[in-house]
Chain A
Amino acid sequence: MADARTPPFRLNLGRFVVYAVLLFAVCFYGIPLLWLLLAGTRSQASLFADPPFTLGTWDSFIATWNNLTTYNNFQIVNWAMNSLIYSVGGVALSLIASIPAGYALAASEFRGRKLILVVTLIAMITPSTAVVLPIFLEMNLLGLNNSYAGLILASGFFPFGVYLTYVYFSTSLPKGVMDSARIDGANRFELFTRIALPLARPIVALVAFFSFIGIWSNYFLAFVLLSDDKLYNLPVGLTVLISTSGALSNLPANDVPIKKPEVILAAILVILPVLLIFIVAQRFVRSGTLSGAEKG
């Protein structure tokens, strides 16, 4: 691609500023994550005494791991399982609800369609944190707080998923195929299961991606709805570990085995699943976030 008109590489002031700012941003975004991943292998003493980017030893990592996992009768394992249950349940429910709904809004005309679309948009733009306390008040009325079912049901409500599906089917449903299937005698439900669902694979992945990230890292709703520590998810559990051990407060030492390295390892457990998914599926963010928003 190098052609004769490409000027030779010159470091003028403009270029220098661009690269300096980009490099500064690399430090800002990159150093904390790199530090966190390395710090998970280090001992408490090393965290204070050694330079920030020291790699710990295998032994100190294993000691930290054992302290963390066995603490309080394998409590963190229990929380990780809970996080998995909430995520799988919540993602499944959000898919079951949003894929057919988005299809119905895109593929048919019916009374009330516009109203449902507008309400969905409002629910999607309203930050989910705004309704956490109202949901708590409601769950209190229904007796559903402090249960797996309550949190799964609440996290299955995912209007963004409905909107993404609606936009996807509005632009990708082949009208010709739908019509000929209808002439061949397929009823409306078969149109959905035979034509739309096989086409839906990319949108199922996209909705599952956004819904999983939201549910896995949900702190506020879980914190408010759950009061039994056996039901906590990992983000809430992480904070309980810290407040019961005082690991971050630099107060006089106690005999709780949860110190800074254990807290760091627990924090890594909270972010690792999302981090791995991000590395694989960065493009989803690009195709999802502004989808349907008009260009420009």
Chain B
Amino acid sequence: MSAIADTASPTAPRDRARAARRKGQRDTRMAYLLLLPYLVLLIMFGVFPVAYAFGLSFVDTIENAFYGLANYEFVFNDFRVPAAAVNVLWFVVIWVAMTMVGVATLSLMLDSVGRKTATTLRTIYFLPGAVTSSAVVVLWLFLLDPGVSPFQGLLHAAGWTYSIDVITGIGLAGVFALMAYFSSSGGWIVVFGGALSSLPTEVMEAARVDGANRFQLAIRIKLPMIWRSLVLMGILSFAAGLQLFVEPQLMQLAGPQSAQNDWSLNQMAFQYAFRMGDFGASAALSTMLVSTSIIIALVIVFATRFYKID
């Protein structure tokens, strides 16, 4: 009796611990089995390309030898790169400003009119989101052509006769910002429509009782409540805007005189790889672009804690 008790009491917790550990291991194995397809893709198209480009950026890919920082030096000494950086910054500043002001204004205004009107208008604002990538550039090349544009009255009034007049008149950064705003802002207006309609009604009621009019309600109560999400939208747009490629790349569709082959940074990385066959220089510029995006992502994840990860 006592012998059994003596042997049982010290082993029982150990057994339990071992069983728990085994269960834990089984859980871990099962989790990784379920994660396997995703992890393969994550490594193939997330981790590996970034690491590979980083490694390649230190290699002279034409002579196949270690190159130190020479690729970076080459990129920085290419006079087109700082010019492209300035172009992209202008584009980003205009686009992010348009997006923040436009989306906030339209969302708040829609929240102050009747529900049916708001729903219909929101759908109209949202549908251009279907016009993306190459189609948005093609559509806007028509819209900016005074010969065929539905806005031709406006364009003629501004004294523009040909597309090239319109494009130089507005400026390329502004043209690309218009294209990007046209297709990306409606989705956000829908999102903020949802966010605004879920704000607590007691607060609105209280403010109204205190005599706040629609304008004060929008600026003093609603705007501060969606401010964080607006900032998130701004940061995400900023990060996406730095990677601009499609819009300038496709300007050549309007004819050789409109071609802009080295307007943005991503275009320069493309030029290095495809026109010059210099994968090392391409990798160096890509690495800098990806690093900027990753730093922005880290700030969003750890400093602002917008997304929940537990």
Cα separation A25 to B250 with both chains bound (whole Å)? 26
Which among A62-70, A101-109, A172-180, A198-206 touches the partner chain? A101-109
Q: Which of B27, B215, B273 contacts A188 (CB 8 A)?
A: B27
Chain B neighbourhood of A181, CB < 8 A: none
Is A246 part of the binding interface, using a Cβ–Cβ cutoff of 8 Å? yes
> Which residues of A101-143 have CB atoms within 8 Å of chain B's CB atoms?
101, 103-105, 108-111, 113-114, 116-123, 125-127, 129-138, 140-141
Is A236 part of the binding interface, using a Cβ–Cβ cutoff of 8 Å? yes
Chain A neighbourhood of B113, CB < 8 A: 18-19, 22
Measured CB to CB, the residues of A under 8 A from B are 14, 18-19, 21-22, 25-26, 28-36, 39, 47-48, 52-53, 93, 96-98, 100-101, 103-105, 108-111, 113-114, 116-123, 125-127, 129-138, 140-141, 153-154, 156-157, 159, 162-163, 167, 188-189, 192, 213, 217-220, 224, 235-236, 238-239, 242-243, 246, 248-251, 260, 263-264, 267, 270-271, 274-275, 277-279, 282, 285-287, 289-290, 292-296
Q: Establish whether residues B49 and A137, one from each chain, have CB atoms under 8 Å apart when the complex forms.
A: yes
Given contacts A248-B253, A294-B308, contact A133 B228 (CB under 8 A): no
The 4 closest A-B pairs by CB, nearest first: A249-B255, A219-B133, A101-B38, A134-B49
Can you show 25 pairs from A to B with CB atoms below 8 A apart? A29-B182, A32-B182, A35-B143, A35-B150, A36-B142, A101-B34, A108-B27, A108-B28, A109-B27, A117-B310, A118-B301, A133-B286, A134-B49, A135-B49, A136-B273, A153-B45, A188-B30, A189-B30, A213-B132, A243-B252, A249-B255, A260-B148, A290-B232, A292-B307, A292-B308
Q: Which of B33, B127, B225 contacts A29 (CB 8 A)?
A: B127
Q: Establish whether residues B45 and A137, one from each chain, have CB atoms under 8 Å apart when the complex forms.
A: no
Q: Establish whether residues A131 and B56, one from each chain, have CB atoms under 8 Å apart when the complex forms.
A: no
Q: Establish whether residues A121 and B309, one from each chain, have CB atoms under 8 Å apart when the complex forms.
A: yes
Which residue of chain B has the shortest Cβ distance to A218 in the bound complex?
B133
Which residue of chain B has the shortest Cβ distance to A128 in the bound complex?
B243
Q: Establish whether residues B138 and A267, one from each chain, have CB atoms under 8 Å apart when the complex forms.
A: yes
Q: What does the 1/0 interface line of B243-257 toward A look like (CB < 8 Å)? A: 101100010111110
> Which residues of B147-191 have CB atoms within 8 Å of chain A's CB atoms?
147-152, 162-163, 182, 186-188, 190-191
Report, as a range, how many residues of chain B touch the other chain: 35 or more
Q: Which of B49, B150, B240, B253 contacts A242 (CB 8 A)?
A: B253
Q: Establish whether residues B191 and A25, one from each chain, have CB atoms under 8 Å apart when the complex forms.
A: no
Among B31, B140, B239, B306, the most chain A Cβ lie within 10 Å of the Cβ of B31
**Closest CB in chain B relative to A275 CB, distance in Å:** 4
Q: Which of B105, B232, B253, B294 contacts A122 (CB 8 A)?
A: B294
Q: Establish whether residues A279 and B127, one from each chain, have CB atoms under 8 Å apart when the complex forms.
A: yes
Chain B neighbourhood of A103, CB < 8 A: 34
Cα separation A113 to B252 with both chains bound (whole Å)? 47
Given contacts A32-B182, A286-B191, contact A123 B46 (CB under 8 A): yes
Cα separation A55 to B151 with both chains bound (whole Å)? 17
Cα separation A243 to B134 with both chains bound (whole Å)? 12
Q: Establish whether residues B35 and A217, one from each chain, have CB atoms under 8 Å apart when the complex forms.
A: no
Given contacts A32-B182, A235-B133, contact A111 B307 (CB under 8 A): no
Chain B neighbourhood of A159, CB < 8 A: 42, 46
Q: Establish whether residues A104 and B45, one from each chain, have CB atoms under 8 Å apart when the complex forms.
A: no
Given contacts A129-B240, A129-B243, contact A21 B106 (CB under 8 A): yes
Q: Establish whether residues A282 and B123, one from each chain, have CB atoms under 8 Å apart when the complex forms.
A: yes
Q: Establish whether residues A133 and B34, one from each chain, have CB atoms under 8 Å apart when the complex forms.
A: no
Chain B neighbourhood of A34, CB < 8 A: 150
Chain B neighbourhood of A93, CB < 8 A: 37, 41
Which residue of chain A has the shortest Cβ distance to B25 in the bound complex?
A110
Q: Establish whether residues B132 and A217, one from each chain, have CB atoms under 8 Å apart when the complex forms.
A: yes
Given contacts A21-B106, A117-B309, A135-B45, contact A125 B133 (CB under 8 A): no
Chain B neighbourhood of A156, CB < 8 A: 41
Q: Establish whether residues A119 and B47, one from each chain, have CB atoms under 8 Å apart when the complex forms.
A: yes
Q: Establish whether residues A52 and B38, one from each chain, have CB atoms under 8 Å apart when the complex forms.
A: no
Cα separation A135 to B283 with both chains bound (whole Å)? 10
Q: Establish whether residues B182 and A110, one from each chain, have CB atoms under 8 Å apart when the complex forms.
A: no
Is B269 part of the binding interface, using a Cβ–Cβ cutoff of 8 Å? yes
Which residue of chain A has the shortest Cβ distance to B280 in the bound complex?
A137
Chain B neighbourhood of A122, CB < 8 A: 294, 297-298, 301
Is B193 part of the binding interface, using a Cβ–Cβ cutoff of 8 Å? yes
Chain B neighbourhood of A30, CB < 8 A: 124, 127
**Closest CB in chain B relative to A272 CB, distance in Å:** 8
**Closest CB in chain B relative to A67 CB, distance in Å:** 17
Given contacts A25-B106, A282-B190, contact A119 B42 (CB under 8 A): yes
Q: Which of A118, A133, A153 contacts B282 (CB 8 A)?
A: A133
Q: Establish whether residues A98 and B255, one from each chain, have CB atoms under 8 Å apart when the complex forms.
A: no
**Closest CB in chain B relative to A212 CB, distance in Å:** 12
